[in-house]
Amino acid sequence: MITVATWNVLHRVHAENWGADVIGRWPVEVERIAAITARVAERDEHVIALQEVSGDQLESLRVTLPGRTIHALRYPRVPVPRHGASPLRDSGEYLVLLVDGDGQEVTAEPFENDPGNGALAVRTAGLLVIATHVSGDRRRTRQMARLAELATGVSGSAAVLLGDFNIDRTAVEAGLGDGFVIADLAPDSLPTRPRTSGPKSQFIDHVVVHGAEVGDAGVDDAVELSDHNVVHATISI
């Protein structure tokens, strides 16, 4: 049994480009980075997946969490500020997996149809863990097929996918196909991606298993630091 969590921490350039509320709460990015790292350090899950990690945020995690094995995929696309210069030293965007103990990296690949999203797979504790960030448009069809291929690539191997899928659970189930199970959240659960307007789902971050069981899923409040909350669950092989 292992515990897992996933959190989109909101890259600063994306936050500024889209006018996210977090900019008003944290005008100084170095302070928000430190607060995000502190929040991650408080968590005790065996594996934590993070999306939209800036290079500055990744450096903070590496310095502050030397006991964690950190795997990272740097996307070919670098977010470009639309309103002035970026406050970041390293504006690169990363997909990250923090592992408690050893982990063997299997693949780190941007999606072939989107250089700003991708998949990072690590084998640890007898489980293939895949962190992902999926595009929010039709490109996701091929991306979901690739995720299913990665998760089922080794017969009899258990896998868990952690990430921001940008779609609700029904669409994730349809995109991945048979054999995948998505962690159930309580009816009164916090949204994983709160919104005050628009038709998009507020539940777009998921823990998905194949060849394993998932339970004890929940959502922890983190919107003072990002535009997403933290999703966590327990996996049994």
Give the mean pLDDT of the chain: 96
pLDDT at 222: 97
pLDDT at 16: 95
Full set of structural domains in the chain with CATH: 2-236 (3.60.10.10)
pLDDT at 154: 76
Q: For residues 136 and 102, what is the distance between their CA atoms, to the nearest angstrom? A: 32
Least confident of 51-65, 95-109, 143-157, 218-232: 143-157
pLDDT band of 83, cuts 50, 70, 90: confident
Per-residue buried b or exposed e for 196-234, using 16+ beta carbons within 10 Å of the residue's own CB: eeeeebbbbbbbbbbbbebeebbbeebbebbbbbbbbbb
Nearest to 179 by CA among 155, 201, 143, 205: 155
Which whole number is the average pLDDT over 191-200? 90
pLDDT at 198: 80
**Tens of pLDDT, residues 114-163:** 999 999 999 999 999 999 999 999 999 999 999 999 999 877 789 999 99
